[in-house]
Amino acid sequence: MSESRRDHLLFGGLFVAGRVLLQLLGFRLYFSLDWMFLADPADLRERLGQTLLDFHAYPPLLNLIAGLALKLAGPAAAGLLTVVYSGLGLGLASSLLALLRAFGIGRRAAFATALAFSLSPPALYLEHLFADALPSAALLALAAVLLHRAVLRQTALAWAGFFATGALLALLRGTFHLSWLAALLVLALAVSPPARRAEVLRGALGPVLLVVALNLKNLALFGFFGASSQTSFLYHVTVRRLPVAERAEWVRVGRLSPLALLDVYGSPRQYAPYFVAPPPGLPPVLADFEKRSSGQPNFNHWFMLDASRVHRSDALAYVKARPHEYARTVVRSLAQFFGPSTRWHPHDTKPGSPHHAHRALLGGYERGYDAVVHRFPLRGVGLYLLLPLPLFAAVRRLGALWQKRGAEERARGAVLAFAVFQIVFVAAVSSLLSFTESSRYRFAVEALIWFLTALALSELAPWLRRRRTLLTGSAKTPTLKSP
């Protein structure tokens, strides 16, 4: 058995033992099907295929996961998803371990870093939350590992694995859209020898076509080319920042639509006076104003197609009229992006928080972690204020690797470029288009941040040793020569 396989088996054993212990202590998956990005559970359970076809509000993958869990396990769906999400958590931490070892980090240091990451409050809390945060992080970290392997092997099959993870991300979260996938293709072609670029294209073809097919489905059925019709996220950093009285004045003079006065999280039935009645015979996932199972608003209602377009127009009108205010909001959102990933829900201080039960068991540990990571040198942002340093170190190392152009150098350079791009991309999109939840969105790239930070520290340690040796040597009393 290879050393790498032994390390991963040992790591997996420790990970599973820790998760079993947490289960025995009462640490549970927060399992809710009331999220706005999910269809009615009855539709997922009884007509999964048709529901996925008619779902336009958000990318469909999380609905598929929930529907399969309901079909396979019924009332025990939460237990099944606990196992699935623990497996994703193990995959995320194991990918971090694999990346560190691929870049020459020592066994003990790599093992300790991956284990510490897997035991951090963000990893524990979001691994036990049925949402898109953990799957996104696991897929991004796995994509980095598969990218390294694909550049070394240069086969269509290896590239297909890399692009398949990208396609799954595009089917999971609207952040990772088709143009993002195109950027991955450009990166793959750039790090491949000209003679092997055909293998890249062959590997990318199937996954890219899958994402294109989803977009074409929405174009054919709903009139837009994309994975998601929902634009309420943009509303938070624009129109919702206006005081109600000022918003009403903007509506009165025609700068905003009447929809700007409505609750963007309210039931779609509030749009009935503004839009033509939907076509007859629509399935429940498009016709019901509220989900029958819970009474929560159905954000996949037919009206939401037009409402999202109007909300987007209102948001762009705000940006055009108040660019400086929008810029200030983006800066505030960026500061929130680097806040605690466990503090993102509007009810975090109340029992309604998804992490209330988690906090009851590990709240002291979470507070201690936040005190170390998020309060120095700047409260709230904390150590993430230093993130430009590992990003700069990664770009610097990327430049050195790019000049050598060997297979291993290309593979490492590709991973560094991928990691830097994902961190900057997710930070920018989260800050430009969302507010209050951006710290949770950061978890998608958290493992990549730990990876680049570990690399920067591994470069810093020998530099410090050399400086110490130099200073120690220069401080010695010089030996005087006899005349």
Q: What is the pLDDT of residue 2?
A: 74
Q: What is the pLDDT of residue 479?
A: 52
Which among 264, 266, 275, 201 has a CA at the least distance from the CA of 233? 264
Q: What is the pLDDT of residue 236?
A: 83
Q: Between 446-475 and 407-433, two packed helices, what is the crossing angle to 10 degrees?
A: 120
At 263 the three-state DSSP class reads: coil
pLDDT confidence band for 328 (50 / 70 / 90):
very high
Determine which helix (DSSP H) or strand (DSSP E) holds 124, and give its type and residue range. helix 121-127
Q: What CA–CA distances, in Å, run from 408 to 128, 233, 411, 412, 415?
A: 37, 41, 5, 6, 11
Share above pLDDT 90 across residues of the chain, in percent, rounded to a whole number: 81
Q: What is the pLDDT of residue 173?
A: 94
Q: What is the pLDDT of residue 16?
A: 96
Q: What is the pLDDT of residue 478?
A: 54
pLDDT confidence band for 468 (50 / 70 / 90):
low
pLDDT confidence band for 450 (50 / 70 / 90):
very high
Residue recorded with tokens 């970290």: 141
Q: What is the pLDDT of residue 1?
A: 63
Q: Which residues of 432-455 are buried (b: 16+ CB within 10 A; e: fewer)?
A: bbbbebbbbbbbbbbbbbbbbbbb
The DSSP code sequence of 1-26 is --HHHHHHHHHHHHHHHHHHHHHHTT
Which among 404, 383, 447, 455 has a CA at the least distance from the CA of 102? 455
* Average pLDDT, integer, range 285-313: 94
At 435 the three-state DSSP class reads: coil
At 281 the three-state DSSP class reads: coil
Which among 240, 236, 238, 218 has a CA at the least distance from the CA of 227? 218
Kindly report, residue by residue over 58-78, the tens digit of the pLDDT: 999 999 999 999 999 999 999
Count other C-beta atoms under 10 Å from residue 317's C-beta: 18
Kindly report, residue by residue over 157-194, the tens digit of the pLDDT: 999 999 999 999 999 999 999 999 999 999 999 999 99
* Average pLDDT, integer, range 446-455: 98
Distance (Å, whole) CA 378 – CA 131: 30
Kindly report, residue by residue over 415-442, the tens digit of the pLDDT: 999 999 999 999 999 999 887 788 999 9
Which among 367, 380, 377, 366 has a CA at the least distance from the CA of 337? 380
Q: What is the pLDDT of residue 483?
A: 44
pLDDT confidence band for 5 (50 / 70 / 90):
confident
Q: Between 156-172 and 61-73, two packed helices, what is the crossing angle to 10 degrees?
A: 90
